[in-house]
A and B are shown apart, each in its own frame.
Chain A
Amino acid sequence: MTEHLPILIVLAPLLGAVFAALTSWFWPRVSFPIVLAGLAISCISSLLLVFEVPASGVIHYQLGGWGKQKEYADMVVGIQISVDYLNGLILAAVTTIALLTAIYSRPTVERELEGQQRYFYALFSLLVAGLLGITITGDIFNLYVFMEIAALSSYALLAYGKKRATMASFNYLIMGTMGACLYLLGVGFVFVKAGTLNIENLSQIIPDSLFSSQAAFVGFVLIIVGAWSKMAFFPMHGWLTNAYTYAPTASGALLAPLATKVSVYAMLRIMITVYSIDYIIQSPNIQTIAILLSTIAILVGSFYSLTQTNLRKIACFFIVSEIGYMVGGAWLANAPGLKGAIYHVVADAAMTSAIFMVIGCIIYRLGQADLKKLDGLYYRMPVTFIALVITMAALIGVPPTCGFFSKFYLIQGAAQAGTWHFVIALLISSLIKAIILFRIIEIAYNKVPNPAKDGNETIPREEAPLTMLIPTALVALGLIALGLATDTLVTDFIAKALPAGLTS
Chain B
Amino acid sequence: MEEIVPKFNYIVVVILMMTGLWSMLAQSNLIKKCIGMAIFQTGIILFFISIGAKNNASIPIVAKEPLGQVLGQAHAPEGSQPPAKPELAAAKAKVYPDPPDVNKLTNPLTQILMLTAIVVGVATLGVGLALAQKVYQQHNSFDEDEILENQTK
Interface of A: prevailing SS: helix
Residues of A within 8 A of B131 (CB): 155, 159, 166, 169-170, 173
- Are A170 and B128 touching (Cβ within 8 A)? yes
- Are A188 and B51 touching (Cβ within 8 A)? yes
4 smallest A-B Cβ distances: which pairs? Answer: A209-B91, A170-B131, A148-B120, A166-B134
> Which parts of B113-133 form the interface with A (CB within 8 Å)?
113, 116-117, 120, 123-124, 127-128, 131-132
**How many cross-chain pairs have Cβ atoms below 8 Å apart between A and B?**
110
**Segment from A69-77, A405-413, A444-452 that makes contact with B:** A69-77
Interface flag for B59 (CB, 8 Å): no
> Which residue on B lies nearest to A170, using beta carbons?
B131
Interface residues of B (CB under 8 A from A): 17, 21, 24-25, 30, 33, 37, 40-41, 44, 47-48, 51, 82, 85, 87-88, 90-92, 94-98, 109-110, 113, 116-117, 120, 123-124, 127-128, 131-132, 134-135, 138-139, 147, 151
- Are B21 and A178 touching (Cβ within 8 A)? yes
Residues of A within 8 A of B94 (CB): 73, 205, 208-209
In-complex Cβ contact of A145 among B82, B116, B132, B138 (8 A): B116
- Are B44 and A195 touching (Cβ within 8 A)? no
CA distance A159 to B97 in the complex (A): 52
- Are A73 and B96 touching (Cβ within 8 A)? yes
CA distance A180 to B127 in the complex (A): 15
Residues of B within 8 A of A75 (CB): 95-96
Interface residues of A (CB under 8 A from B): 71-73, 75, 141, 144-145, 148, 151-152, 155-156, 159, 163-164, 166-167, 169-170, 173-174, 177-178, 180-181, 184-185, 188, 191-197, 201, 205, 208-210, 212-213, 215
> Which residue on A lies nearest to B85, using beta carbons?
A213
Residues of B within 8 A of A178 (CB): 21, 24-25, 37, 40
- Are A191 and B33 touching (Cβ within 8 A)? no
- Are B91 and A152 touching (Cβ within 8 A)? no
CA distance A191 to B107 in the complex (A): 11
- Are A192 and B51 touching (Cβ within 8 A)? yes
